[in-house]
Structure 1
Amino acid sequence: MAQTQERTDRGMSMPTLTAMVVGSMIGAGVFSLPARFGSATGVVGAVVAWIIAGGGILMLAFVFQNLAVRRPHLDAGIFAYAKAGFGDYVGFNSAFGFWASACAGNAFYWVFIMTTVGALFPQLGDGDTLLAVALSSIAVWTFCALVLRGVREAATINRIVTVAKIIPILVFILVVLVSFDAGIMRDNLWGGEDPGFGTLVQQVSDTMIVTTFVFLGIEGASMYSRFARRREDVGRATVIGFLSVLAIFALVTLTSYGVLPSSELADVRQPSMAGVLDSVVGDWGKVLISVGVVVSVLGAYLAWTLMAAEVLFMPARNADMPRFLARERNGTPTAALLLASAMVQLLLLVTLLADDALNFMLDLCTSLALVPYLLAAGYAVKIALRPEPGDDPAGRRGELVVGTLAALYSVLLIVVAGPKYLLVTCLIYAPGAVLYVIARRENQRRVFTVPEVVLFVAIVAGAVVGLYGLISGWLTL
């Protein structure tokens, strides 16, 4: 009884859990929303897009929550669900893809910082100049060196980052609401296009990648379950936190349509929240948002650097990655961290070739996360179709509906991303097989089964087509 009381007293309350869920989802992406939506759609399309994204992402959140309850022993990360459901090589690709997504997200952070500072120093351009890449590269390896020395997330850093995220966003929403012009909003209803179902579908599809990007990390909400005072609080905190973040994202998007025409929103320099606020209140608005962006992104980068290393480290400990990636010092996975930093460095060099480095990294980061999400949803459907003794039929049916909807949403996103990003992701997945082969040989296991050979050949074929497309010019970054 005493042990139970101690655990309850020390556990996190539902408001604390909700705050952690909100903090984990609000990152750099929100600061880019006005221009991304302004270039894609109008008010009607934005409302439809957030409804679809909200429903789809909520289904994914429920998938991770249900899997955490159904398969609590699978605690080695998102790749464990893919491995348990579809085999070793599929599980490896899920881990590798999620790792590459985290690295692309970190590259996005540096491009975002450089384009923010580039408003003051034109030599940095939109974060894709040689100087910008050089400065970003120095920062990447500086952070790597700090983490290797044992620098970890501290409470002070988290508090600063949380304030840097929330306060500028709330100021933006309040100020823009005060300056709201119903006439401008009315002119922006259809994004400058004639009303029509076909036009609306295209507009909504053009926003789906960015709406998914801003919610990346929602799967982390289930990790707080072991800290909760009551297990049932986790589900409530997930829903409340998600709806709060959805409201913030939607308000940032929709209020922007009330101060600038969509054509002008599309041309606002990133971070576009700074440009929109500057048009309303002047320079101090741009400075406020820009400072919030830099501090928020730097804090988020530390967290995502550790996470990217962890995504390789945990599979290595389970013999799904080469042994050298399991090396650690002072509690820090050293080899995994160095490899993650090297990947970020490579992606930064790729930005020199991209037509729009910021949006390319955002879309690449999201596209790489889609396959791991789809595999997790697929595994949820698979176990829902296999009743176990003592299962509640109604509860199992609910899990099947949730898993199916999450899987369909993931497939829809892959289709919307299009063949360009599918081929580019194959270019990243294909070389990763080297790590898989090393790990299998280290543990004296058969490298590929027959179905896995087919999958490997398909990935390599996609990579070859993608490489040919880049060389010949019909595929551009």
Structure 2
Amino acid sequence: MAQSAQAPSRATVSLVGLMAMVVGSMIGAGVFSLPQRFASSTGIAGALATWAVAGAGTLAIALVFQRLSTRRPDLDAGIYTYARTGFGEYVGFLSAAGYWASSCIGNVTYWVLIMSTLGQWIPALGAGDTPLAIACSSVGLWLFFLLVRAGATQAAAVNRIVTVAKIIPIVVFLAVAAAALDPAVLAENWRSGPEAGTFFEQLRGTMLLTVFVFLGIEGASVFSRHARRRSDVGRATVLGFLTVLSLFAAVTVVSYGVLPREEIARLQEPSIAGVMEAVVGPWGAVFIAAGLIIAVLGAYLSWTLMAAEVMFAAANDGVMPRVLGRENRRGAPGNALLMSTLLAQVVLILTVFAEDAFAFALDMTAVMALFPFLLTALFLLRISGVRPRAAHRGDAAIALAASAYAMLLLASAGVELALLASLFAAPMTLLYVWTRRQRGRRPFRTGEVALFAGIALTAVVVVWALATGRLAI
């Protein structure tokens, strides 16, 4: 989301600008953790299978956004509007809240990864989850809040620099690793050992990571109201996705040609720094660390703006309280930014209690994003039979493929992560009730009461399970 920080006026963003939003949003913390996360679960065969499945599934999701951008151009406030239009106010609210939470939780992974990177030279920072690391991350969290709140111009200046800078270390890594690639090591890493489990279990261990690294594919859709041409939204989504898929798959595969799989699996995050160091020495790790910090801060800026944009648009669309739809005198959505930063702060503190702070935040980010993606695909499926034209042929097939992929990923995530999502959805419903009362409407319609009761009951059970040790994070 390279240009998103500009908060442009209506209909000013070109195809290149929209594509930059997609690519810029997806290239962040995830790419730097690909070697270790894949190697700890599978070999090259499993990695290629994962990228094939993830590529096909995510392409289906990208095509869903492409079709909806032309089929329902009136829905220009982003991803949550599809759920709201198709399935009602409360489901639309949950979609907006879930997507917003995904953005905020994802921001936490950036700070954990930065502190983990610096922890290689400052032991007190550990893996990014020590008290000192949490304190330093919190300072950074609020400094960025002040930067974005000060106005879009300052944020855009920073974002333009890091958009280019974040690509450089990845390209250098690919060139160095490809030059050092050992065919014998590559062949040895083709398959993983029996300890990795069945082939399906290996895929399951890597699928959620692919969701995380592909988050941002909807970036052009979120800012679709700023597009110069509506048709550019879909093109930017697909072109941006194909670019990033090629890059991510290449980073994963070349790493298997440098070190044995077992050694890659033991690397500390960011794992591409360890692979780089194995080829060129200590300076390689320093180079990657510097590039990572620039890339992650740029992605963090993009996602901070993305999260605020979702809440701001939802508030102005009547889904969130009016207070979140206000801009400060510098044109920034101050209240939405404040709420986003507060949620990130809470999650950052919770990482102290997680066994693996980075993995926990990463997986929760993916799960929270899957629900809005699933609802978007189901919305296209719902309207695919309504006044179909020649240009709309294949809508149902695309929607079915995207829906099946999202449900497969939710199943792969495990019931524990899905249950933990209720701890967010239940209290957030208070905002929904507040919003409805502001507009003189009753809180729930028939059927929505049952949905809320199910979410609330699940949240109570999860709290009990956490308190008794039956569920751990």
- For the superposition of Structure 1 and Structure 2, which TM-score range results when normalised by the shorter chain? over 0.9
- Please list every run of 5 or more consecutive structure 2 residues that lacks an aligned counterpart in the other structure: 1-10
Provide Cα deviations, 1:442-467, integer angstroms capped at 9, x if missing partner.
11112112211111111112211211
Correspondent of 1:414 among 388, 410, 414 = 410
| 2:300 partner letter | Y
Question: Structure 1 residues 44 and 396, CA, compared in 2 at 3 Å: closer, same or farther?
Answer: same
| 1:437 partner letter | V
Question: Structure 1 residues 254 and 424, CA, compared in 2 at 3 Å: closer, same or farther?
Answer: same
Residue in structure 2 matched with residue 4 of structure 1 by the alignment: none
Provide Cα deviations, 1:42-70, integer angstroms capped at 9, x if missing partner.
00000000000001111111111111111
Correspondent of 1:454 among 434, 439, 450 = 450
* Match runs of 1:61-460 below 5 Å: 61-152=62-153, 156-193=157-194, 199-222=198-221, 235-329=234-328, 330-386=330-386, 388=387, 391-392=388-389, 394-460=390-456
- Greater displacement, 281-290 / 465-474: 465-474
Deviation at 1:107, TM superposition (A): 0.9
Q: Could you say what secondary structure the match of 2:128 adopts?
A: coil
| 1:367 partner letter | V
| 2:49 partner letter | V
How many equivalent residue pairs?
Answer: 462
| 1:358 partner letter | F
Question: Structure 1 residues 320 and 238, CA, compared in 2 at 3 Å: closer, same or farther?
Answer: closer
Deviation at 1:238, TM superposition (A): 3.6
1:364 touches 1:421 (CA, 8 Å); kept in 2? yes
Measured in 2, the distance between the counterparts of 1:103 and 1:85 equals: 25
Q: Could you say what secondary structure the match of 1:127 adopts?
A: coil
Measured in 2, the distance between the counterparts of 1:292 and 1:379 equals: 39
1:19 touches 1:241 (CA, 8 Å); kept in 2? yes
Measured in 1, the distance between the counterparts of 2:354 and 2:195 equals: 32
Q: Could you say what secondary structure the match of 1:126 adopts?
A: coil
- Greater displacement, 113-122 / 323-332: 323-332
Measured in 2, the distance between the counterparts of 1:74 and 1:192 equals: 49
| 1:369 partner letter | A
Deviation at 1:87, TM superposition (A): 0.3
Measured in 2, the distance between the counterparts of 1:178 and 1:63 equals: 38
Q: Could you say what secondary structure the match of 1:450 adopts?
A: coil
Deviation at 1:121, TM superposition (A): 0.3
Residue in structure 1 matched with residue 470 of structure 2 by the alignment: 474
Q: Could you say what secondary structure the match of 1:380 adopts?
A: helix
Deviation at 1:338, TM superposition (A): 1.1
Provide Cα deviations, 1:359-408, integer angstroms capped at 9, x if missing partner.
1100011110010000000000001022x2xx42x543411111111111
- Please list every run of 5 or more consecutive structure 1 residues that lacks an aligned counterpart in the other structure: 1-9
| 1:212 partner letter | V
| 1:349 partner letter | I
Identity of aligned residues (%): 52
- Greater displacement, 18-27 / 34-43: 18-27
- Greater displacement, 222-231 / 357-366: 222-231
TM-score in terms of structure 2 length: 0.93
Residue in structure 2 matched with residue 3 of structure 1 by the alignment: none
1:153 touches 1:303 (CA, 8 Å); kept in 2? no
Q: Could you say what secondary structure the match of 1:332 adopts?
A: coil
Deviation at 1:470, TM superposition (A): 1.2
Measured in 2, the distance between the counterparts of 1:316 and 1:13 equals: 26
Question: Structure 1 residues 18 and 141, CA, compared in 2 at 3 Å: closer, same or farther?
Answer: closer
| Aligned-residue CA RMSD (Å) | 2.1
TM-score in terms of structure 1 length: 0.92
Deviation at 1:298, TM superposition (A): 1.3
Measured in 2, the distance between the counterparts of 1:16 and 1:312 equals: 22
Measured in 2, the distance between the counterparts of 1:74 and 1:99 equals: 18
Provide Cα deviations, 1:316-345, integer angstroms capped at 9, x if missing partner.
112211122122212111221111111011
Measured in 1, the distance between the counterparts of 2:227 and 2:236 equals: 10
Deviation at 1:13, TM superposition (A): 7.1
Measured in 2, the distance between the counterparts of 1:38 and 1:474 equals: 29
1:65 touches 1:235 (CA, 8 Å); kept in 2? yes
2:144 touches 2:301 (CA, 8 Å); kept in 1? yes
Q: Could you say what secondary structure the match of 1:206 adopts?
A: helix
Measured in 1, the distance between the counterparts of 2:306 and 2:226 equals: 19
